[in-house]
Structure 1
Amino acid sequence: MSADKYRIVITGIGLVAPGASNKEDFRTQVLAGRSGIQEIDLRYFGKAAAGLCSFEETRYRKKKENKKGTRAGCIGVYCAHEALLDAGLEEGFYRQDRTGVYVGLTEHGNVETENEIYHLKGYDYDVSYWTHHHNPRTVLNNPAGEITISLGITGPHYSIGAACAAGNASLIQGVQMLRLDEVDMALAGGISESTGSFGIFASFKAQGALAEAVSPEQACRPFDSKRNGIVVSEGGCIYVLERLDRALQRGARIYGELVGYGMNSDARDFVLPFDERQAQCMQLALAKAGLQPDQIDIVSTHATGTKQGDAEECRAIRSVFQNAPNTYVNNTKSIIGHAMGAAGVLELAANLPSFEDNLVHPTINLTELDPDCALTNLVVDRPVELPRIRTILNNSFGMLGINSTVVVQAWA
């Protein structure tokens, strides 16, 4: 392969987020610091702050198909079609059997299982009323598979279970498969349908990690001294990834180049994060990118609004970027909540337009900074304009101690 065949670029973006159903509206939302969080009322659980998505669910497939499939599949199909449309790909430019679909998930199947058990209750738990759709709905590859069925893609598809690091992990998988010449184009991203599961809310509450606030818009408070937990959100984001030489060949618009990545494991605890391993993950990504910390313009943080989680990541960032006075830091979850498997890819999408407008979007709901979360150049309340933005380092960390970092560079 020529050198350009090893360079992987982003040429299409399709997304749904709490408050936006396309990348333009999403950028407007995050620059304005407008929260997408609202109050929901879940059966068995009650009221909670959450991030829900609104989009045209029947734009790319019929209502009957959505009913047969899953909420995650519905989000995935919409995002994949939007990404391909955004990429401007002509039909047949890439062979269907040389296209891969890689979808990051934190969990899958909880929503369908809870719904079926609730339905069965009305039939005195007679399992003869259990739906025959249950198995294909709950297998882990479901959202990726639904995308291939909708688009007629016959290349490889699978989901990547990497907790809340899964979105970044899917991008890494897409890069690797393209560099290995296993595929010629990749649809890679992440999806969350977590707001449909009362069990997820109940579990976070039992851990003392579910955010509560007087108003739902203020519930997600990363770095704030009064932060008290996670806001659960749904959402999705799918990217079109191509080799640079083919993207140039067809005159594609290039959003950025994936120049570095890192993944590692804490190997320490089921839930609690570890700053030392997170710092090592960032260093791995920087080394692969051939960049020094002071060459990063934006650090997009994972911070979820939990007490220990935010403090651990901030310690990691301080250790890596202590000699990087021109690196700026922000957080997208404060605006849209925690979209689990979609978190990393949505947060990257929130920041990618910085390469064009040179603006760093703000962190919101930060009224009293926790000293343990003090970071140089933390952007709060309103955007900061820089002379030029060329590099973004995007963090995503998850339960069981899985860490992922992706570095994206402006292409020119």
Structure 2
Amino acid sequence: MSAVVVTGLGVVSPSGLDLETYWANLIAGRPNFTVARALPDANLVVAAIDEGTAFADLPISVPGACDRNAVLAVAAAGRALADAGIAPGSVAPERIAVILGNGGGGLTSLDTQYERLFAEKKRPHPFSVVRAMGSSSASWVSIAYGAQGPCFVLASACASATHAIGVAAQLVRSGVVDVAITGGTEAPLSAGTLLAWNGMKIMSRTGCRPFSRDRDGLTVGEGAGVVILEREEHARARGRVPQVAVAGFGSGADAGDIMAPTADGMVRAMRAALADAGLSPADIAYVNAHGTGTRANDLTEVAAMRTVYGAGRVPPVSSTKGTTGHALGAAGALEAVATVLAMTRSEAPPTASLTEPDPDLDIDAIPLRSRAMPIGAAMSNSFAFGGLNACLVLRRVT
């Protein structure tokens, strides 16, 4: 089957609303964490987008029917399509898929409508259903850019975007579509959602510090990342010179605890991605880790990597969540974009705020400063609540 290549990238995140700003903040290890606007008195730290008017002119026909998570998806998709050089009508619309990951759907809209219903004693807005439905982000991207191929949202908690990219790559590889607009989106910074996460006692009060001795939890964030995928010959036929391919995808379930991760499930997903790519562990030069900054995730993920790569042979690893926060269903897409940029620019982003690495982890987590290095192949990991695991293997196109 044909290679599936990345021809466009788009991102909107707390670390930047365009690729160059996003990359500059990643390689500088510059977090953008603030007190949650939805709960100013709760002292909850989040990663929020300060967009100003950046989303004012998006091609959204009925803005009042569009939840924030869909707005972010449309913005990121437009940036990715422009980066890929795909203009309206340049590809048959029925041959363009939209496959997005979204963990929670219209969370901000749900909060607003519950307040109307229970606090203000008003009837819900007539657009409440279409704002809140989990599939709305894919629908709005399809409508905005005229994509008429397969269109749906995958939900697997914090692995959603990585699952979406993997499934989209399979659709492209098999010839079902010529182009896939894929990635993930999430807008979870509503009061109710943040209170729910806070109830789990895993939110940091100071900012996410993956792999650090003093790490105290994750930082919930928002954002969207989109990659454009094509078969290599399709991309070259329209004059694109691809640099990175989605070479492998692996996924699976722990079938264990609904919250606690297991190394065995992570190991199976990583090995499946390597097998799909036809690569060995020794071929991987860099890993973009799930790296949430919680005690359990970091310990379990490192144990799984040691099993896959061998003790003492785990390649350099970083978690970009120390900069972007944890965007839940969009996290894997933001990290896939980061990994592609790292490969094309031969520079691995650091793990931000890693001033004192946890000695129990004993990996090269690229602390504080980016590292110039060739990256011929890389892995991007996403491991979610419910024991849902997904991994991508990316390789340079020669």
Other-structure match for 1:161:
155
Other-structure match for 1:287:
275
Deviation at 1:113, TM superposition (A): 1.4
**Is the 1:102–1:144 Cα contact (8 Å) retained in structure 2?**
yes
Pairs within 5 Å for 1:350-361: 350-361=338-349
Other-structure match for 1:139:
133
Other-structure match for 2:22:
26
Gaps of 5+ in 2: none
Q: Is 1:57 paired with 2:43?
A: no
Pairs within 5 Å for 1:211-360: 211-213=204-206, 219-322=207-310, 325=313, 327-360=315-348
Other-structure match for 1:404:
390
Other-structure match for 1:178:
172
Partner SS, residue 352 of structure 1 = helix
Q: Is 1:384 paired with 2:371?
A: yes
**Is the 1:104–1:170 Cα contact (8 Å) retained in structure 2?**
yes
> Scaled by the length of structure 1, what TM-score is found?
0.92
Deviation at 1:44, TM superposition (A): 9.0
Assess, with a 3 A threshold, how the Cα gap between structure 1 residues 236 and 312 changes in structure 2: closer, same or farther: same
Deviation at 1:324, TM superposition (A): 7.0
Task: Select between 14-23 and 250-259 the one with higher mean Cα deviation.
Answer: 250-259
Q: Is 1:110 paired with 2:107?
A: yes
**Aligned partners of 1:153 and 1:285: how far apart in 2?**
28
Q: Which runs of 4+ in 1 moved over 6 A?
A: none
The AA in structure 1 aligned to 2:205 is E
**Aligned partners of 1:121 and 1:340: how far apart in 2?**
28
Q: Is 1:40 paired with 2:36?
A: yes
Deviation at 1:43, TM superposition (A): 4.2
CA-to-aligned-CA distance 1:23-63 (integer Å, 9 cap, x gap)? 1111111111111222223249733111112341123236x
Q: What CA RMSD, in Å, does the superposition of the two structures yield over aligned residues?
A: 1.8
Partner SS, residue 331 of structure 2 = helix
Assess, with a 3 A threshold, how the Cα gap between structure 1 residues 236 and 220 changes in structure 2: closer, same or farther: same
Other-structure match for 1:216:
none
Deviation at 1:65, TM superposition (A): 3.2
Other-structure match for 1:208:
201
**Is the 2:185–2:225 Cα contact (8 Å) retained in structure 1?**
yes
Assess, with a 3 A threshold, how the Cα gap between structure 1 residues 43 and 25 changes in structure 2: closer, same or farther: closer
**Aligned partners of 2:174 and 2:369: how far apart in 1?**
42
Other-structure match for 1:15:
11
Deviation at 1:223, TM superposition (A): 1.1
**Is the 1:275–1:313 Cα contact (8 Å) retained in structure 2?**
yes
**Aligned partners of 2:12 and 2:46: how far apart in 1?**
15
Partner SS, residue 258 of structure 1 = strand
**Aligned partners of 2:256 and 2:326: how far apart in 1?**
23
**Aligned partners of 2:278 and 2:238: how far apart in 1?**
28
Q: What is the aligned residue count? A: 396
CA-to-aligned-CA distance 1:294-343 (integer Å, 9 cap, x gap)? 11011110011111111000101111122674821111001111011111
Gaps of 5+ in 1: 214-218
**Aligned partners of 1:310 and 1:59: how far apart in 2?**
40
Partner SS, residue 171 of structure 2 = helix
